[in-house]
Amino acid sequence: MVKRSDESQSAIEAHGIIGDMHTAALVNDQGSVDFMCWPEFDSPSIFCSLLDSPQAGIFQLAPQLPDARREQMYLPDSNVLQTRWLAQEAVVEVTDLLPVSDHEHELPLLMRRVRVISGTATFDLRCAVRHDYSRADTHASVDGADVCFQAQGQPTLRLASTQPLNIEDQAACSRFTLNEGETAEFVLGAGDDPRVKVGEGDLALQRTLHYWRRWIAQSSYRGRWREMINRSALALKLLTVRDTGAIIAAATFGLPETPGGERNWDYRYTWIRDASFTVYAFMRLGFTEEANGFMRWLRGRVGECCAEPLKLHIMYGIDGRTELAETTLDHLSGHGGATPVRIGNGAVDQVQLDIYGELLDAVYLTNKYGEAISHEGWQHVTQIVNHVCDIWHQADVGIWEMRGEKHHFLHSRLMCWVALDRAIRLASKRSLPAPFAQWNDTRQAIHSDIWAHFFNAERGHFVQYKGGTALDGSMLLMPLVRFIGATDPAWLATLAAIEKTLVRDGMVYRYRNEDSGMDGLQGTEGAFAACSFWYVECLARAGQVEKAHQEFEQLLRYANPLGLYAEEFDCHARHLGNTPQALTHLALISAASFLDRKLDHQKTQWQP
């Protein structure tokens, strides 16, 4: 494998994403598809130069305009991406999409269309498919006007083109010139898929635009930040698996949380926690079908876990599998040299007690705004809540999936309280049978335990874990899940301590390694973007509306030029970690929705 220097890799934030709700591709602002898995989100990659060199797979398509200004934009209200070059000699655009098919089980297509707006431009194309994370020996061959890519034991892919193709170094290559108004089209898909042909790009583009625009038009959001909210909603929808309802945490694997470090994880799976939060975001915007779809997918997982002994995993493959063995791709040099590059996720077998609270909160919200729970579903809920009554006092690894020793984490205890609270509320609202006395006693016991063991009277604020003194960004959820009032003195003191310890220019760290020393990893990660938006919402709920508004506007400017966010920020507010991150975008939606209401209320109350 030919390695490349850090300087030749695109920054994480220099990417747009396209997708068809089966898989996704990242396109950088130089016109290259440098990350794509096929045919599913969690399938092996076919393009992986983002984590190594072009030899790991890349689809380059760009004009020879070295001094051009480059910019990217989404066609309005869609996930169709356009990269533009503006130069004295020519203005050029490349439109990229994964067409949304009328049939949800069809395999993905990658469509790339070039158009010269003015002038004349010469283009270079190089499509180097590299199967199985670039571990397989991919062979390119000419088949008529197309090029096929084959590797033993891997699906054959075919590239169709309106321009003549040749093969160089097992890649399809072409150099061609277009004049003003002329176009070229390229389609990559399964080798035996009859849709892999050129000449139907206009129809595919219009159908795909219609799909996305019809979907986003259903949004009920009419507030101040409609463009950013719509982009976040479109990103969340793109991360939803169309035929199952599963919701993945992010489209990528291996992008580092620490530049050059070892905090490199695979997020192409469905976390119960993240997806349950996404249900809340969809509900806030009026997208009940997506929330209902995820809950239907989740019922299958809950039904599986309700055998004895009860075992609800924290994450699943998009097909519901739990065999997600963590391995390293040692042949890849990593983004910016960050190794190891991991696929699979060893956290799948961790004990994280908070997932029961997120799950029950999603069940409660879906019943309130979407589909009513079935008799069988309520039986499963009852079994899960009874299980929480038995285990809530145990230690675990916490929301951040610590790879060190277990502790009694405040957030885990808090979400066990949420599980009991939402189950009691749901049973009461729907007149469902439940052991109310047992559940209520447990809810009160957890409430008392949190105040007795997680509030440090000497310091005057809550702490990350029992017996500790450190703070944690997940504590920002305490008023958001209605455990404590947002203006309670104990909470305001905690918020002030978080500001002093974990907040830097509006960016909030999950925890400080030097304080906790528990995650078992080297280096210090960036600020966590979702925590930063939780912080904004906490400020607004605490009545600090002007400060919340300023911090929110600042965070909006830390998005990439397309309005997308990765998992974390570095000290310069550049993006770190896998991207786009669902948890970040749903936290943005929640903060914007609440801040809108507070600002509207403040406007009506102001007197000159």
Please report, for the domain that includes residue 16, its CATH number.
2.70.98.50
Statement to judge: residues 350 and 408 lie in one domain: yes
Q: 118 near 130, Cβ under 8 Å?
A: no
From 187, 215, 243, the end of a domain falls on 215
User: What integer pLDDT is reported at residue 403 of this predicted model?
Assistant: 75
From 196, 215, 234, the end of a domain falls on 215
Statement to judge: residues 480 and 460 lie in one domain: yes
Helix (H) or strand (E) holding 83: strand 81-86
From 182, 215, 248, the end of a domain falls on 215
Statement to judge: residues 22 and 98 lie in one domain: yes
Regarding beta strands 90-97 and 81-86, do their DSSP bridges make them parallel or antiparallel, or are they unpaired? antiparallel
502-513: per-residue pLDDT in tens? 999 999 999 985
481's tokens:
């899940």
Statement to judge: residues 282 and 193 lie in one domain: no
Residue 1 lies in a domain: no
Instruction: Tell me how many degrees the CA angle 412-415-416 measures, rounded to the nearest 5.
Output: 85
Q: 277 near 588, Cβ under 8 Å?
A: no
Domain carrying residue 451? 225-605
Cα torsion 244, 367, 369, 213 to 10°: value is 0
pLDDT at 3 over 60: no
Residue 437, exposed/middle/buried by CB under 10 A (0-12, 13-18, 19+)?
exposed
467-523: per-residue pLDDT in tens? 999 999 999 999 999 999 999 999 999 999 999 999 999 999 999 855 445 566 677
212-228: per-residue pLDDT in tens? 999 999 999 999 999 99
Number of domains in the chain: 2
Residue 286, exposed/middle/buried by CB under 10 A (0-12, 13-18, 19+)?
middle
What is the C-alpha R_g of the chain? 25
Residues forming a β-bridge with 91: 86, 118
Cα–Cα distance, 295 to 289 (Å, whole number): 10
Residue 545 lies in a domain: yes
Longest CA–CA span in the chain (Å) reads: 77
User: What integer pLDDT is reported at residue 287 of this predicted model?
Assistant: 95
260-287: per-residue pLDDT in tens? 999 999 999 999 999 889 988 999 999 9
What are the φ and ψ backbone dihedral angles of 266, each rounded to 5 degrees? -100, 115
Concatenated DSSP letters of 252-293 = -B---SSTTSS---B--SEEHHHHHHHHHHHHHHT-HHHHHH
Residue 220 lies in a domain: no
Statement to judge: residues 295 and 406 lie in one domain: yes
200-256: per-residue pLDDT in tens? 999 999 999 999 999 999 999 999 999 999 999 999 999 999 989 999 999 999 999
